[in-house]
Amino acid sequence: MDDEDYEDLIEIVKDRMRENGLSDLAEDSNFLDPDALAEGRAELPPPQTHLILLLEAFQLHLKWTDRDTVEDNLRFLHESVENGPENAFIEFPDRADGRPLFLREIPSLGPLRSELQRLIVALQGEDYEPSPGMER
């Protein structure tokens, strides 16, 4: 793929993120090259790196909203603290009906997260090198 292909994919991913309430996460300002910023320039990384960083940000969002992540953390808390919590709910201030979202209602996103990880690895390819300052 060339830079134009990556740029097209970036726009598709950003559009889908915006459609699903993730406009803040899709903002280019989240992906500015830190070395360029240190020199007073606002530059995005090369398109391949930009796409990978965008997908990794989405992957992290999925992890935060995955029932498996919540259950793993609850299990850890329950085992670590006497009378630790066994269940949870999440309150979303901007939710239209104002009610909390209970653990049983949170989707399990493990398969989606695994598929996204495979896509990221495929996009990286064998010759992928992050831009200076963009290493993970």
* pLDDT given at position 42: 94
Quickly count helices (H) and strands (E) in the chain: 6, 2
* pLDDT given at position 95: 64
Mean pLDDT in residue range 90-100: 68
* pLDDT given at position 136: 46
Separation of alpha carbons 11 and 50, rounded Å: 11
The residue whose two tokens read 């495979």 is: 118
Structure confidence at residue 94 as a pLDDT band (50, 70, 90): low
User: Cα 16 vs. chain centroid, distance in angstroms?
Assistant: 13
Cβ burial 103-133 (10 Å sphere, 16+ → b, else e): eeebeebeeebeebeeebeebeeeeeeebee
**In this model, does residue 18 exceed pLDDT 70?**
yes
Is residue 52 within 8 Å of residue 124, measured between CB atoms?
Answer: yes
* pLDDT given at position 48: 94
Point out the least confidently predicted range of 63-67, 76-80, 95-99, 110-114. 95-99
